[in-house]
């Protein structure tokens, strides 16, 4: 079974998958604890609009999605600053991005293979250049989060207290929204637009049950996510399943397993 | 001895649309004061605090430590709001919550005359000292979502203290606490004021507590009804009545009963 590791496309998929799952866990911990779990979903749909813009205009879809998603995340954050509730802001952003995508897709003559790969992920098709881009962007996102960790943590816990303590909350919220948008665009290669929320939300929910502090939750979340990605790529190769669906199914199973164990342990040691 | 003016509020107005919450309020707070802010619900206490801290748009001027308000001056100010909302499953212990306030962006300048923590202490030592002051060191490993109301309030005071503030503003910090927790809370408040020289502005409902602990009183009635020594405030029964029973009959009530005179 291990001979599949000799295939360079599997190696690239594993390396890229681990990098993506790690930054999704880092960003996901902050989003879930801000009660903003669907932010990723909103931005992913804006990214769909960006992909359609790229395909329509003949630009590389990844980069058009990159720019459009960043603009979408800034708009989303601006709505939040204007006291629009998080779920309403996500809903507005989501349908706006999706409508642009659907219109441009219909003008371009319907769905293409490229568009399908963005909708459902294509980690197996990652080229060496793609892998280098994914690793570079993931590295920058992870580095910025590590450098601003305490400030982001304080804002996530309670933005008002952080603001009164002298932290530039508005500026950092915009910066974090951009980081989250970049993460979503990079993660499109792994699970696709439609399943991105799974990478952001599920590992954090599982990890939060381990009661190991915020940093610990982030690390456990990244470990659960990376294991699911590795196992998912192996299983999908062996059984000829879609990698994105397999990875997300494993994340769901991990969460069910953790929650069930937590319940049983709670009853045993009550 | 001439004491420094820590806070100066001049002609402060706060509006919510057409409704005026704070109307032309002016007063000074001197170094070492423990100011009890009193007034009925809706008299503008919380709005005034938020305006002072730059959290609400307002008219008028606020000076902190002799300088016109600037965000950086907040590094020397601690704040414990009336209610702190956070995600109940937030994965942080009591220790983590206090330590998260120790970022380079929040640290107080080191030229303080008084202080709870020394600048040469490690972050862990600072957190330990502040948790000891609020009697929460024993619960440092407890998950924040598992604490009672009184314990939470003490953690948030420790979180403010760990930044070594010169001024601590607390908005109805003892509301909802049981008698034992209230007593502990007030003794911590007094200790922080008298032993560590932290100037305090605290909104309080219990007049006995105001009388016992504060040296100055600010009485809000949307406008400033009184500002001065606590003894002068309690000497004026009419003023006392005005501030505590402020238009109670006129305010909207979610329950059905009458307020007979």
A205 lies in some domain:
no
Q: Of B63, B62, B52, B47, nearest to B14 (Cα)?
A: B47
In a domain? residue A267: no
Residue B163 lies in a domain: yes
Q: What is the pLDDT of residue B252?
A: 41
Q: Is the pLDDT of residue B259 over 80?
A: no
On the question of pLDDT at B247 being above 60, the answer is no
**Does the residue B259 lie in any domain?**
no
What local confidence, expressed as pLDDT, does residue B246 receive? 44
Could you tell me if residue B258 is inside a domain? no
Query: Which of A158, A160, A166 has its CB closest to that of B106?
Result: A166
Kindly state the average pLDDT of the residues B86-96. 91
CATH assignment of the domain containing A120: 1.10.3470.10
Question: How many CB atoms neighbour CB B259 within 10 A?
Answer: 10
Residue A94 lies in a domain: yes
Per-residue pLDDT at A181: 96
Is the complex ipTM more than 0.85? no
Q: Is residue B60 part of a domain?
A: yes
Residue A268 lies in a domain: no
Q: Tell me: the pLDDT tens digits for A13-41?
A: 999 999 999 999 999 999 999 988 899 99
At residue B1 the predicted structure's pLDDT band, cuts being 50, 70 and 90, is: low
**Between A34, A161, A213, which is nearest B93 by CB?**
A213
B255 within domain boundaries: no
pLDDT cut 90: percent of chain A above it: 70
pLDDT of residue B111: 47
DSSP code, position B102: -
Alpha-carbon gap, residue A91 to A260, rounded angstroms: 32
CA distance A229 to A7: 17
For helices A128-147 and A149-157, what crossing angle results, to 10°? 70
Kindly state whether residue A85 falls inside one of the protein's structural domains.
yes
In a domain, residue A65? The reply is: yes
Range of the domain at A82: 2-194
Q: What are the residue ranges in chain A where pLDDT is below 70?
A: 1, 111, 113, 270
**What's the structural domain count of chain B?**
1
- Which residue would you say has higher pLDDT here, B250 or B25? B25
**How far apart (Å, rounded) are the C-alpha atoms in residues A85 and A198?**
22
Domain residue limits at B171: 5-250
- Tell me the CA distances in angstroms from A205 to A30, A266, B86, B165, one per residue in order: 12, 17, 16, 36
Q: Give B103's contacts in chain A (Cβ within 8 Å).
A: 150-151, 154, 167
Query: Does residue B257 belong to any structural domain of this protein?
Result: no
Residue of A33, A34, A165 lying closest to B74 (CB–CB): A165
Task: Give pLDDT tens digits for B98-120.
Answer: 999 988 766 665 545 457 888 78
Asked if residue B145 is part of any domain, the answer here is: yes
CATH number of B106's domain: 3.40.50.300
Does the beta-carbon distance from B89 to A153 stay under 8 Å? no
The residues on A that touch B, with CB distances below 8 Å, are 32-35, 150-151, 153-154, 156-158, 160-161, 163-168, 207-208, 211-214, 216-217
């Amino acid at each position: 079974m291990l001979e599949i590791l000799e295939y360079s496309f599997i190696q690239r998929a594993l390396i890229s998958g681990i990098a993506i799952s790690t930054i999704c866990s880092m960003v996901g911990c902050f989003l879930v604890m801000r009660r903003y779990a669907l932010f990723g979903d909103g931005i992913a749909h804006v990214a769909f609009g960006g992909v359609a813009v790229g395909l329509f205009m003949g630009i590389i879809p990844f980069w058009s999605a990159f720019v459009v998603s960043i603009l979408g995340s800034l708009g989303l954050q601006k709505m939040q600053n204007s006291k629009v509730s998080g779920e309403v802001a996500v809903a507005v952003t989501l349908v706006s991005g999706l409508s642009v995508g659907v219109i441009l897709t219909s003008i371009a003559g319907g769905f293409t293979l490229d568009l399908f790969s963005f909708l459902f992920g294509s980690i197996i098709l990652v080229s060496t250049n793609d892998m280098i881009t994914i690793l570079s962007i993931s590295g920058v996102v992870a580095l910025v989060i590590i450098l601003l960790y305490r400030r982001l943590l304080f804002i996530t816990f309670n933005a008002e207290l952080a603001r009164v303590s002298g932290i530039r909350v508005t500026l950092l919220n915009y910066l974090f929204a951009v980081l989250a948008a970049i993460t979503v665009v990079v993660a499109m290669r792994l699970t696709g637009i439609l399943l991105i929320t799974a990478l952001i939300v599920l590992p954090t929910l599982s990890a939060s049950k381990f009661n190991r502090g915020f940093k610990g939750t982030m690390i456990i979340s990244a470990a659960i996510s990376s294991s699911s990605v590795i196992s998912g790529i192996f299983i999908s190769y062996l059984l000829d399943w879609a990698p994105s669906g397999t990875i997300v199914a494993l994340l769901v199973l991990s969460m069910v397993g953790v929650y069930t164990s937590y319940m049983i342990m709670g009853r045993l040691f009550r | 001895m001439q004491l420094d003016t820590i806070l100066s509020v001049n002609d402060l107005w706060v509006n919510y649309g057409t409704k005026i919450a704070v109307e032309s309020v002016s007063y000074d707070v001197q170094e070492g004061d423990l100011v009890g802010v009193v007034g009925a619900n809706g008299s503008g206490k919380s709005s005034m605090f938020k305006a002072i801290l730059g959290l609400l748009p307002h008219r008028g001027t606020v000076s902190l430590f002799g300088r016109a308000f600037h965000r950086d001056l907040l590094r020397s100010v601690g704040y414990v709001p009336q209610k702190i909302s956070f995600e109940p499953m937030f994965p942080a212990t009591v220790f983590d919550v206090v330590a998260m306030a120790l970022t380079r962006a929040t640290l107080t300048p080191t030229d303080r005359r008084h202080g709870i923590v020394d600048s040469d202490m490690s972050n862990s030592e600072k957190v330990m000292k502040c948790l000891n002051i609020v009697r929460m060191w024993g619960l440092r490993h407890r998950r924040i979502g598992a604490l009672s109301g009184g314990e939470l309030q003490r953690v948030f005071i420790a979180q403010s203290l760990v930044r070594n503030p010169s001024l601590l503003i607390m908005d109805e910090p003892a509301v909802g606490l049981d008698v034992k927790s209230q007593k502990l809370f007030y003794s911590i408040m007094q200790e922080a004021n008298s032993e560590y020289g932290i100037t305090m502005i605290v909104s309080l409902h219990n007049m006995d507590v105001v009388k016992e602990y504060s040296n100055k009183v600010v009485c809000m009635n949307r406008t400033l009804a009184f500002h001065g020594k606590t003894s002068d405030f309690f000497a004026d029964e009419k003023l006392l009545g005005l501030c505590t029973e402020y238009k109670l009959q006129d305010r909207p009530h979610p329950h059905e009963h009458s307020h007979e005179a």
